[in-house]
């Protein structure tokens, strides 16, 4: 059986000099306001993994009111979601992610982020695709008020 899942996440920019993207620190003119490390790519992807498995959403396991997750590296959220899939006999086939923002630019970091995400998912790098788009300067993303990500994951069980 194969199943698909989708995820979406947004964080507002705030004080700071970097954003976490796919587990990597990317220099930026701002940071993000978040309870955890605010990694939008990993939050969207964790929701996609949980969605594919019919396992709810990230807030069910890692509530943003829980002091245990203050400043937490979001890779641990994704690893936990993947471990839940494995318990149900599933493996990840591929993931496709889209980063939505005016800045930072993804190009210089794309390869490293793909590798980081592939490692977290336990798949080959070519099973992870990473795209970026702007919103043509429209809306809160276009005004550089924050950063968003969308993710789709396909899983299978024999």
Residues that bind Mg ion (CB under 5 A): 9, 43
Single out the residue of 105, 101, 99, 98 nearest to residue 26, CA to CA. Answer: 105
Tally of CB atoms within 10 A around 63: 12
For residues 59 and 112, is the Cβ–Cβ distance under 8 A? no
Q: Which is nearer to Mg ion, 59 or 89 (CB)?
A: 59
DSSP state at residue 124:
-
For residues 13 and 145, is the Cβ–Cβ distance under 8 A? yes
The nearest distance, CB 36 to Mg ion, in angstroms, is 7
The nearest distance, CB 43 to Mg ion, in angstroms, is 4
Q: Which is nearer to Mg ion, 43 or 109 (CB)?
A: 43
Q: Per the structure block, which two tokens stand in for 73?
A: 């590296």
Q: Is 36 helix (H, G, I), strand (E, B) or coil?
A: coil
The nearest distance, CB 9 to Mg ion, in angstroms, is 4
The nearest distance, CB 142 to Mg ion, in angstroms, is 20
Q: Which is nearer to Mg ion, 50 or 127 (CB)?
A: 50
Q: Which is nearer to Mg ion, 52 or 149 (CB)?
A: 149
Residue with tokens 């300067």: 137
Residue with tokens 């498995």: 53
């Amino acid at each position: 059986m194969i199943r698909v899942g989708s995820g979406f996440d947004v964080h507002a920019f705030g004080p700071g000099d970097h954003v976490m993207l796919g587990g990597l620190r990317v220099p930026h003119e701002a940071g993000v306001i978040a309870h955890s490390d605010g990694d939008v790519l990993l939050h969207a992807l964790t929701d996609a993994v949980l969605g594919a498995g019919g396992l709810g959403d990230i807030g069910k396991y890692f509530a943003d009111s829980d002091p245990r997750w203050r400043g937490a590296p979001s890779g641990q959220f994704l690893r936990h979601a993947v471990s839940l899939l494995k318990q149900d006999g599933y493996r990840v086939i591929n993931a496709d992610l889209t980063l939505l923002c005016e800045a930072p630019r993804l190009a210089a970091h794309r390869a490293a982020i793909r590798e980081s995400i592939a490692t977290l998912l336990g798949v080959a790098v070519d099973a992870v695709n990473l795209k970026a788009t702007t919103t043509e300067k429209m809306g809160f993303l276009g005004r550089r008020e924050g950063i968003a990500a969308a993710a789709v994951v396909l899983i299978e069980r024999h």
